Structure 1
Amino acid sequence: MNLKKNAILAVAASAMLLASATSGAPDATAAAAKPVSIVLDGYPLPFPAAPYVANGTTMVPFRAIAEALGIQVDWANRTLTATKSQNGAVRKVVLHQNDKKALVNGQAQQLRVAPAAKDGSIFVPLSFFSQQFGATVGWDGPSQTVSITSPVSKLYTEAFYAISSYKEVGFVRKFDSVSFGWTRIDATGKLTLSGQDFFWPKPAGDVTPESIVQDAAVAGGKPMLMAVAMDGSGELTKLLSDKTLQADVIGQLVGLAAQNGFGGITLDFEGLGLSGDLPATRQSFTDFVAALNKSAKASNLTLALALHPLNSSYRGYDYNALAAHADEIIMMAYEYSYEDGPEPLNRIDEAIRLALADVPKSKLVLGISMGSETAATVNGKIGLAKRYGLKGVAFWRLGLMGDQTLAAIQKSVFLR
Structure 2
Amino acid sequence: MRRFTKLFLLSSVVLLSYFTSVSSIHAAPPSANDVKVQINEQLVTFPDAQPFLDSNHLLQIPVRTLSQKLNYEINWEHKEQSINITIAKSGHTVSFTTGTSIATTNGNPLILDSAPQLINGTTYVPLRDLADALGIRLQWDAQNHIAILNQDGKYHAPSWYAPSYKVIDGTATAYTGSSAENGGYAGKDFFGNPLAVGSISVDPNIIPLGSKVYIEGYNYDGLPSDGLYATATDTGNAVKGNKIDIYVPDNAIKAAQFGIQQVKIYILNN
Q: Output the TM-score relative to the length of structure 2.
A: 0.42
Return the structure number with greater strand share: 2
Return the structure number with greater helix share: 1
